[in-house]
């Protein structure tokens, strides 16, 4: 087969946050993903090829990306030894819901970057991808020049106004959901709501990353920059990590506040572990993920009791699930998404409830977001605790699992708490605040 794309690799010195931030501002399209579990970073810059998962057909966005990825892969020469080329991006939460507010990202977005940088504790590797060897070398030279020129970005953007959108009508929807669950039309549904923020000046992708990188917590951090939009997330939830013959999935559901002190955190955590309502909410997720993975003929292991995972201003019930066997990553994503931690149970009835009653368009919120390399290693998170920035306008999103015992006021507090880390990030540092 005629080769259309050429890949070259180059070892780099470790990138600083300032360099990563600077690079994000130099490219029109970019994606950066920090993985707190193994402290690795993927940075994707510029577009060599792109795919809009739900543009042509709304039926199976995963199949669309799979076909595109397979075609790209057949073109790959395996001369690269230290890291593999990858594709990165974000799927929609629900392709069947009409999207209006998401502009260029309304059909989801994946790309094969012109430059992809993988950084772990021991090495930083850049891979260029271009139509000719010469162009690839040019890209690597441009990268070196940007790294040499990088300086710390000093954005001073702050929040001018915040408003949580249509809280009363959301609370009514929660009550409707509780009624539907009590009438046994559903077992669980996850309902999300929005807050809108106006900034005094816009934030660049680099400035946002500079702020995100200061947050050292148990969450994944990603930023997707496309046209004039930036989608960012501080998500604690891994949908799937793909390793050869092994798959890791999080069951994350059941939430309480974190409290202000370690003592409070422990007390609240203890109560969360004892809460029947939250245990039911969590168990639905564990049982359903396990069931769906068993349908793929995988061997599954997980602890019988949930653990606690504290992140940002909340803590969750958490069960890590490991599955063994041969996996097709795209098939796994299609099988898992949305889990009952974002959709509900039964899946189709919950999705219909969300489409009919939630009253806004989730777009990429709650969609699988991450990367997959050409050796089929990869990681996808669930894009929660996220925000969409367009100029001075920011939309923030947060949802909560509704079960028979849910109380709409508690769910309002929970979703409010879930928005706080992102709000804090947008607030920026006040003039006299300590560094
Ligand atoms: C839908 C969200 O959280 C999900 C993930 C963890 C815990 C959840 C909960 O306890 O409701 C949600 O299922 C969100 O943060 O927007």
Buried b vs exposed e over 34-69: b needs ≥16 C-beta within 10 Å? bbbeeeebbbbbbbbbebbbbeeeeeebbebbbebb
pLDDT above 90: percentage of residues in the chain: 86
Cα 67 to ligand 1 centroid, rounded to whole Å: 31
CA of 23 to the centre of ligand 1 (A): 32
Residue-wise burial string across 242-278, b where 16 or more C-beta atoms lie within 10 A, e elsewhere = beeeebbbbbbbbbbbbbeeeeebeebbeebbebebb
Cα dihedral sign for 397, 116, 6, 376? negative
Which residue's C-alpha comes closest to atom 8 of ligand 1?
A: 253
CB of 425 within 6 A of ligand 1: the answer is no
Q: Return the pLDDT at 435.
A: 32
**Exactly one of 66, 188, 225, 418 is catalytic; which is it?**
188
pLDDT at 170 over 60: yes
Q: How would residue 433 be classed by pLDDT, with cut points 50, 70 and 90? A: very low
- Per-residue confidence band for 171, with pLDDT thresholds at 50, 70 and 90: very high
Question: Which of helix, strand or coil describes residue 320?
Answer: strand
Using an 8 Å Cβ cutoff, are 367 and 397 in contact? no
Q: Is the model's pLDDT at 122 over the cut of 70? A: yes
Q: Is the CB of 255 under 6 A from ligand 1?
A: yes
In this prediction, residue 59 has a pLDDT band, given cuts at 50, 70 and 90, of confident
**Tens of pLDDT, residues 312-323:** 889 999 999 999
| Separation of CA 76 and ligand 1 centre (Å) | 38
Pocket residue to mutate for ligand 1, from 187, 342, 423, most atoms within 8 A of Cβ = 342
Q: Per-residue pLDDT for 431 more than 70? A: no
**Averaged pLDDT for residues 284-309:** 97
User: How sure is the predictor about 3, in pLDDT bands with cuts at 50, 70 and 90?
Assistant: low
pLDDT per position as a tens digit, 335-369: 999 999 999 999 999 999 999 999 999 999 999 99
pLDDT at position 78 = 66
Provide the pLDDT confidence category of residue 402 given band limits of 50, 70 and 90: very high
Distance 393 CA to ligand 1 centre (A): 24
Question: Is 188 part of the annotated catalytic residue set?
Answer: yes
Report how far residue 82's alpha carbon sits from residue 75's, in angstroms, rounded to the nearest whole number. 18
> From CA 92, how far away is CA 367, in angstroms rounded?
5
pLDDT at 62: 97
Residue 2 among the catalytic residues: no
Give me the catalytic one of 9, 207, 237, 414. Answer: 237
398 lines ligand 1 (CB under 6 A): yes
From 224, 5, 187, select the one nearest 104 (Cα to Cα): 224
DSSP helix/strand/coil, 145: helix
- The string of pLDDT tens digits covering residues 374-400 is 999 999 999 999 999 999 999 999 999
* Residue of minimum CA distance from atom 1 in ligand 1: 399
Residue identifier of the C-alpha nearest atom 4 of ligand 1: 341
What number of other Cβ atoms are within 10 A of residue 211's Cβ?
22
What domains are defined for the chain?
6-149 (no CATH), 159-427 (3.60.120.10)
Mean pLDDT rounded to a whole number for the chain: 93
Q: Which ligand 1 atom is nearest residue 252's CA?
A: 6
Whether residue 198 has pLDDT greater than 70? yes
Highest mean pLDDT among 95-109, 153-167, 288-302: 288-302
Q: Which atom of ligand 1 is nearest to 382's Cα?
A: 5
Ligand 1 binding pocket includes 192 (Cβ within 6 Å): yes
pLDDT of res. 380: 98
The whole-number average pLDDT for the span 13-18 is 96
pLDDT > 70? residue 430: no
Distance 406 CA to ligand 1 centre (A): 13
> What spacing in Å lies between the alpha carbon of 236 and ligand 1's midpoint?
10
**429 pLDDT band (50/70/90 cuts)?**
low
Please work out whether the CB of residue 253 comes within 6 Å of at least one atom of ligand 1. yes
pLDDT at 366: 98
Is the pLDDT at 2 greater than 60, yes or no?
A: no
Strand-pair partners of 247: 242, 323
Q: What is the mean pLDDT of residues 233-248?
A: 96
The answer to whether the complex's ipTM is over 0.85 is yes
Q: How confident is the model at residue 257 (pLDDT cuts 50, 70, 90)?
A: very high
Phi then psi dihedrals of residue 77, to 5 deg: -85, 140
- Once rounded to an integer, what is the mean pLDDT over residues 100-110? 92
């Amino acid at each position: 087969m005629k080769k259309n794309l050429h890949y070259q690799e180059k070892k780099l010195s470790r990138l600083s946050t300032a360099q990563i931030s600077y690079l994000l501002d130099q490219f029109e399209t970019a994606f950066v993903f920090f993985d707190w579990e193994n402290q690795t970073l993927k940075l994707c810059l510029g577009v060599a090829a792109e795919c809009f998962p739900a543009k042509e057909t709304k039926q199976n966005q995963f199949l669309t990306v799979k076909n595109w990825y397979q075609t790209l892969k057949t073109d790959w020469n395996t001369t690269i030894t230290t890291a593999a080329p990858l594709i990165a991006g974000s799927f929609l939460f629900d392709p069947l819901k009409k999207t209006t507010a998401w502009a260029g990202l309304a059909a989801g977005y994946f790309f094969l970057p012109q430059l992809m940088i993988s950084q772990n504790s021991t090495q930083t590797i850049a891979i260029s991808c271009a139509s000719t060897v010469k162009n690839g070398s040019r890209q690597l030279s441009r990268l070196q020049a940007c790294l040499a020129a990088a300086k710390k970005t000093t954005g001073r953007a702050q929040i001018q106004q915040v408003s949580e959108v249509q809280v009363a009508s959301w609370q009514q929807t929660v009550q409707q959901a509780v009624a539907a669950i009590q009438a046994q039309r559903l077992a669980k549904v996850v309902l999300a709501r929005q807050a809108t923020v106006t900034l005094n000046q816009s934030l660049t992708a680099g400035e946002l990353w500079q702020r995100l990188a200061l947050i050292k917590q148990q969450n994944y951090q990603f930023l997707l920059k496309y046209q004039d939009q930036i989608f960012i997330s501080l998500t604690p939830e891994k949908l799937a990590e793909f390793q050869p013959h092994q798959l890791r999935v999080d069951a994350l559901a059941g939430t309480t506040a974190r409290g202000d002190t370690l003592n409070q955190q422990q007390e609240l955590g203890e109560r969360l572990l004892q809460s029947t309502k939250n245990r039911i909410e969590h168990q639905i997720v564990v049982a359903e993920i396990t069931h769906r993975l068993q349908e793929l003929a995988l061997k599954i292991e997980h602890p019988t009791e949930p653990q606690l995972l504290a992140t940002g201003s909340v803590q969750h019930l958490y069960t890590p699930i490991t599955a063994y066997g041969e996996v097709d990553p795209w098939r796994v994503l299609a099988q898992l998404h949305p889990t009952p931690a974002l959709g509900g149970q039964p899946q189709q009835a919950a999705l219909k409830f969300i489409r009919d009653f939630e009253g806004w368009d989730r777009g990429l919120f709650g969609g699988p977001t991450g990367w997959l390399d050409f050796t089929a290693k990869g990681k996808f998170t669930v894009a929660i605790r996220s925000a969409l920035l367009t100029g001075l306008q920011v939309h923030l999103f947060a949802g909560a699992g509704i079960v028979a015992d849910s109380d709409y006021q508690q769910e309002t507090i929970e979703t409010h708490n879930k928005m706080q880390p992102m709000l804090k990030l947008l607030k920026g540092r006040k003039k006299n605040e300590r560094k």
